[in-house]
Structure 1
Amino acid sequence: MNDMAKNTPTVSEIVDELAKEQPPKRIWEVDFVRGLMILFVVWDHFMYDVSAFEPYQSGLFNWLYALSARYYSGVLRQVAQPVFVTMFVFTSGVSCSFSRSNGKRALRMMAFALLFTAATRAAEEIVRADVTIYFNVIHVIALSVALYTAVEWVWKKCVKGWQKNLFGIVMTAVTLAVIIVGACANAKPWTNDNPLWFFLAMHNSQKVPAFTHFYGGDYLPFFPAFGWFLVGAFLGKFLYRQRQSLFPTVNEKWVCPVTFCGRHAIWIYFGSQLFMYGLFYLFCVLI
């Protein structure tokens, strides 16, 4: 009887065990920022799709086409677009701090990215426009999560102090190198005509005509985006060591529409693209 009593867990132990099994509470501010970013991305793609499918027979869509022309030639888009896309990638890096398995997350993201490319390729056959998306923000995040999974594995192998210090130095150098190389490529695009390098950094489409096709309906170079992803991942580990919100007093009900978009950013991105392709094809070709 004494042995049974010793092996019987107490109520507090049972509660603690159940608490461990519960999924971690989402951090509302991360979802909020990602929600804002995905809403801007949807708007930006909406403006691009409006300009890509003209001419229209509808007065409303002709007005939207004029609006998209002003938007794409304006300062707002030139300034806001790279900032919002970078923040979207950055918050995806922060989210790695809360994932139970970044490896599984990477596999899901890769499958989703391939599905997205296949869907846009099918859409291209229907609308007869160069709208296939070979490598954009979804592919960037998928590949980034996969590489970060390897980074996490290496970190876990670093048990000695000098190993951890060396790891920190190497990863800092890699992160800075990716950001700097990517920024230089954006300022002075590469002229390498090997298609295997197209995903890595911005290329000069005038000197490398094949890059225009790879750019397709949307494109985001892996450099410097991967660098900002790493910054977000490492900063997330530092800021959210307790996996708790930094702003716990905020009433999440007031921001729930935006955080909802942040929680379901991938599906919103995917669904909005397909919906807009179908909508503009309908008004441009069938009506």
Structure 2
Amino acid sequence: MCLTVKRTTAETVVRTPPFPSVRSFITANVVPAFWSRNIPTALNFLRKRKALVVTSVRSTRTSSMFFSGEQRTTVLNYPAAPKGQSRRIWELDFLRGFAIILMCIDHLMYDLAYVFADVWRARGGAADAIARFACHWWAHEGHWIGRTRDVVQVVALCVFFGLCGGSTIFSRDNLSRAMKTFLAAALVTLGTYFASMLGIIEEEDIITFGVLHMLSFATVIVTAVYALTRLAKKRGDLVFFLVSAALTGIIFLVNYLISRATIEPNRWLMFLHEDLADIDWTGGDYFPLIPYLGYAFGGAAVITLLYGAGKSLFPKGDGVWNKPFRFVGRHTLVVVITHQVVNMLLLAVVTALFVDFGNFVIFG
């Protein structure tokens, strides 16, 4: 008997053909026995191994010049991933987590340089050396440590915002994800505003359009472009790749032109470009749409090109060495919201225990 297998994205269909091959026609008397004995045995074996799940069995009568009898169609579905596992692309989670960890370290250096540096430098020794490193990391004035920070920042931003744009092609609920991110961004803005009113931070440290604001807007914009390119059903991925690549170039070109133009700043336009904002400096994170939306579209183009099939390109191995990075990459929103609180508390405890006993600095 001839057995055919048809694969689709959602199911696998195993069926006996209505027009058997010549060999099956010659052995027509064997076909009923083969079907009734071997096929059920094979399906039961796969079902016990949890490789396939039988969802339905349909029987129809078929009559032709070559064959007359019953045709049976069995629809099989691959089972869902076991609880605690997922079908995510591990290297993308790893890269996202790596970029987030770099951001946490960068902000840890900021907190040490601008909040705890005086106490640490007064201690001398190793504490003074660490505080000096943090100060050079941020206010480098040409120091090699500061130049290293500039390179690390560019790499982390490219990876992080690029993955933000690329993730839209895998997520089925981008608008909900964008709304959650925007609500979190609004809470961060309100939190830093009240902290400024209480004198905990300076007014220029209020986060008005930070990384979460940028992520929420970028998710909506890239999702809208992706949805429009889906109208070209047969060439949707190619169209999205070309449009994303073109928008990347356009956004960076606009960034170049704005940075060299003389434009009257307007505080209400600070979400577009830093040269349009009526601010001298902000200590809080600030990521306007231009040029960072270009990173998102650039990442969308690259990920569409490399991961259009939705499959990992690298072997995962045992996964132990990259598990912490993947964990952070899967919980980006929580880490971004909480990491500064964790940083400040960590530095306060270390200061009170090892640098200036009993002095938590931030509670003084």
For 2:341, the equivalent position in structure 1 comes to: 274
- Residues 156-194 of structure 1 show CA distances to partners (whole Å, capped at 9, x for unaligned) of 333587x99887765543221112222455x64864321
Determine whether 1:98 maps to 2:151.
no
Match of 2:279 among 183, 195, 211: 211
Contact 2:92 2:163 in 1 (8 A): yes
Contact 1:50 1:61 in 2 (8 A): no
Cα distance change of structure 1 residues 194 and 20 upon mapping to structure 2, 3 Å threshold: same
Q: What SS does the corresponding residue of 1:158 show, helix, strand or coil? A: coil
Cα distance change of structure 1 residues 190 and 146 upon mapping to structure 2, 3 Å threshold: farther
- Residues 191-243 of structure 1 show CA distances to partners (whole Å, capped at 9, x for unaligned) of 43211221212228xxx7x4136x34121222121112112123222322222
Alpha-carbon separation, structure 2, partners of 1:193 and 1:150: 29
Alpha-carbon separation, structure 2, partners of 1:111 and 1:146: 14
For residue 137 of structure 1, what is the amino acid of its counterpart? Answer: V
Determine whether 1:244 maps to 2:311.
yes
Match of 2:115 among 32, 53, 56: 53
| Superposition deviation, residue 5 in structure 1 | 6.1
Cα distance change of structure 1 residues 168 and 63 upon mapping to structure 2, 3 Å threshold: closer
Contact 1:190 1:201 in 2 (8 A): no
Quick check: which one's strand share is greater? 2
Alpha-carbon separation, structure 2, partners of 1:39 and 1:171: 27
| Superposition deviation, residue 50 in structure 1 | 2.1
Alpha-carbon separation, structure 2, partners of 1:128 and 1:229: 31
For 1:229, the equivalent position in structure 2 comes to: 296
For residue 100 of structure 1, what is the amino acid of its counterpart? Answer: R
Alpha-carbon separation, structure 2, partners of 1:145 and 1:21: 29
Alpha-carbon separation, structure 1, partners of 2:74 and 2:102: 46
Q: Which has the larger radius of gyration?
A: 2
Match of 2:325 among 258, 275, 278: 258
Cα distance change of structure 1 residues 164 and 241 upon mapping to structure 2, 3 Å threshold: closer
- Residues 129-175 of structure 1 show CA distances to partners (whole Å, capped at 9, x for unaligned) of 232111122221111001112112212333587x9988776554322
- Superposed CA RMSD: 3.4
Alpha-carbon separation, structure 2, partners of 1:149 and 1:242: 18
| Superposition deviation, residue 105 in structure 1 | 1.5
Runs of 5+ consecutive residues of structure 2 not aligned to the other structure: 1-55, 60-71, 141-145, 349-358
Cα distance change of structure 1 residues 80 and 128 upon mapping to structure 2, 3 Å threshold: closer
- Residues 61-86 of structure 1 show CA distances to partners (whole Å, capped at 9, x for unaligned) of 65543221121212111222122112
| Superposition deviation, residue 271 in structure 1 | 0.9
For 1:82, the equivalent position in structure 2 comes to: 154
| Superposition deviation, residue 286 in structure 1 | 3.1
Q: Number of residue pairs matched?
A: 274
- Out of 220-229 and 248-257, give the one that drifted further: 248-257
